[in-house]
Amino acid sequence: MEARNLDDIATLMTVVQQGSFSAAAKNLGLTRSAVGKRIARLEERLQVRLLQRNTRNLSLTEEGQLFAERCAAALEELEFAEQLLAQRHAQPSGRLKISLPVEWGRLYFKRLLPAYLARYPKVELDVSLTDRYVDLIGESVDLAVRIGTLPHDSSLLARPLGQQIMSLCAAPDYLKHHGTPQHLSDLAQHNCLHYRREGRPLAWHFQVNGKAEYFNGRGCFHADSGEMLAQAALAAVGLVQLPHYLVQSHLDSGSLIALLPENQSAGVPIQILYPSRKQLSPKIRSFVDFVAEEVVARGGLKKTDAA
């Protein structure tokens, strides 16, 4: 498309926004006659009348309305492209409010956050650790890392980081006194330590013949801390299902024993969420890109990393 054609379209949109040729001419720094010639040239090229005009009123024709709607979207895209390039050269700065899952945030981001600040010293981080699914827009949160399948929200974008793998395990002393479960049906006979979110214990997840199975057991201890549940399992209180990263060292040392590995649940997605691109400032983009770089540098999030 010739540059002159873009000028004509931009002139039409200015006329529509300003409501008259005279106001559009003033806005564009042109004469009223020049504005009229551009509109006439555009109509001639399209072979359609775009504006109904007389001495008092100016309005879009039906064809003009359809054309203007499409042009508005196209010009918005061009404006965004311009802003995007400008932002890439801007130094990230200002306050960045982040929401992270409690356990995963503590262990995975304890090194990453200082490294980010070392690269972008003009950014101020405000970090909240919670397993609650925060409303990013309503609570003015810039971005969040969340685990699991989330409801579709067209106002947010998601960038995958990896998957969380869960492991069922128990201490050797517990198994010595209570027996080792051989099938999922055996779990009902054991003391089950469940993670609690928002006052409710979460079901354990398993895979049986390629299908998801869920189990809610009875037990003497629930908590909203994975580390606390891991310590209870180490003390031979009962069985526990936790993210693999929390128990890997204990499994490696033999202080915890993995159970029913053939029924290990499928991984659930870990993703970083942030507002739609119109709100994507340099500080948000830099953080999202930085986290993604770290994931790639480490060869992706493995089950030992995910929480």
Return the ∠ at Cα 306 (arms to 302 and 307), rounded to 5°: 160
Nearest to 169 by CA among 219, 236, 220: 236
Predicted TM-score of the model (pTM)? 0.59
Whether pLDDT at 291 is above 50: yes
The mean predicted confidence, pLDDT, of the chain is 85
Q: Where is pLDDT greater, at 220 or 210?
A: 220
For residue 204, the model assigns a pLDDT of 93
Q: What is the mean pLDDT of residues 152-176?
A: 87
Tokens of 30: 């042109």
Which are the contacts of 3, defined by CB distance < 8 A and separation ≥ 6? none
pLDDT band at 82 (very low <50, low <70, confident <90, very high): low
Handedness of CA 257, 260, 262, 267 (dihedral sign): negative
pLDDT band at 304 (very low <50, low <70, confident <90, very high): very low
Which residues does residue 169 pair with via DSSP β-bridges, in sequence order?
A: 240, 258
Q: What is the mean pLDDT of residues 119-135?
A: 90
pLDDT in tens, 216-259: 999 999 998 889 999 999 999 999 999 888 898 999 999 999 99
Tokens 């559009």 correspond to 24
pLDDT in tens, 60-77: 999 989 988 888 888 777
